[in-house]
Amino acid sequence: MLNDHHITVVKSSIPLLEDAGPALTQYFYQRMFRHNPELNDIFNMTHQRTGHQSVALFEAIAAYAKNIDNLAALTQAVERIAQKHTSFNIQPHHYQIVGHHLIETLRELAPDAFTPEVEQAWTQAYLFLANVFIEREEQIYQLNAQGTGGWREGREFVIDMKTVESERVTSFVLRPADGKPVMSYQAGQYLGIEVTPSESAYTEIRQYSLSQASNGECYRISVKREGDAHKGVVSHYLHDEVQVGDSVILYPPAGDFFYQATEKPVVLIAAGVGVTPIQAMAQTLAEVSKRNVSYYYACDSVAQHTFNRESAALIEANQWQQQVWYRDQHGVMDLTSLVDTLPVAEGEFYLCGPVVFMEHAVQQLESLNVSRDQIHYEVFGPHRYL
């Protein structure tokens, strides 16, 4: 059981973590996949190759060590990670594997500093945190299974429709193979999709935002073709090989980024494929006939304007504010130019897009005195704080 002495020892080892840096978590992943290759079927190996996952895990471990005596500060991070884990169908035994390799990594990389006292403290700290995640994830799994149209673990869905939305984005409408209802979700959430691409040696699980309002009958995801096939093995497979009538496995909708009903003005801000969760929010807002909505979008060109006609119809029918920036014509999005129309004092701002875009958008909003509490955002892939 974690006690005050363990907490003191863990906090005293923070310099050890900081000296090691992301190289520690990179070593950890290499070790784990070498000894437990079955986990290649769960983890996103593209993120492993880019190093993004190693950096994200290191930042999470460091944050936990620094806040181990104030876990309330990690509540939001725990919820975000627990939601993501359920879309991978992470189970308690996976935590045992991860814990074993984490401790062994610390032992192997810092044999002199990793004394029996430090090992015991980190073991108890890990077990405590793992139990927090296991309990929260079990709650989510049970809620998913008990709700109308809900399920637990994987469920077979059939591609009902495949629609090109722009030069690089294609939508897939997915209906349950059993013909039964599907659980509802919050606009902005995502779901996990499991496939076995012909170009991959592993089963691959990815998360894609749901791009339409919840309807209880089907789901729609909209997928961007990523770079080359090596970097975007799943997106290329979905674009090039998956056809109407084919089956995939889905995990229930998840995520802590979603539209929260409010009487305040709502500002939707997106770039590129980041428009996918924003589109679900726009459809949801249209269904409740909410009028005080603004819709701002940026992409590279007209050809890459995803949901161009669909969003235009929503905006016109609901008399919303709109502006679009095409990089090849207008440059990058300039929110400061909208200072006279943006509800900076009372609005709720929802952002999604590339990290660089969102960092720039947040800086602009803050320069207009928009509070961080008013800004909600989603980062695709391993999470980063803006």
HSE value, Cβ hemisphere, 13 Å, CA-based, for 17: 22
Alpha helical stretches, state H, 147-274 = 233-240
Residue with tokens 């181990």: 68
Residues paired with 169 in a beta bridge: 224
Two structure tokens written together for 191: 């779901």
The DSSP secondary structure of 126-169, one letter per residue, reads HHHHHHHHHHHHHHHHHHHHHSTT--SS-EEEEEEEEEE-SSSE
* Strand 190-195, strand 348-352: pairing: unpaired
- What lies within 8 Å, CB to CB, of 86 at 6+ separation is 137, 140, 141, 144, 251, 252, 254
Amino acid at 94: H
Q: Give the three-class secondary structure for 225.
A: coil
* Cβ 266 vs Cβ 292: under 8 Å: yes
The answer to whether the beta carbons of residues 248 and 178 sit under 8 Å apart is no
Q: How many CA atoms lie within 13 A of 214 on its CB side?
A: 19
Q: What tokens appear for 263 in the block?
A: 């009487």
Token readout for 116 is 């029996």
Q: Which of 27, 64, 137, 237 is catalytic?
A: 137
137 is catalytic: yes
Active site residue 153: no
Distance, CA of 361 to CA of 367 (rounded, Å)? 10
**CA-to-CA distance for 93 and 36, rounded, in angstroms?**
12
CA angle, 153 then 91 then 105, to 5°: 145
Contact present, 60 and 81 (Cβ < 8 Å): yes
Pairing relationship of beta strands 219-224 and 169-176 according to DSSP bridges: antiparallel
Kindly name the residue from 29, 95, 251, 377 that is annotated as catalytic.
Answer: 95
Residue 310 CB neighbours (<10 A): 16
Catalytic sites, residue numbers:
95, 137
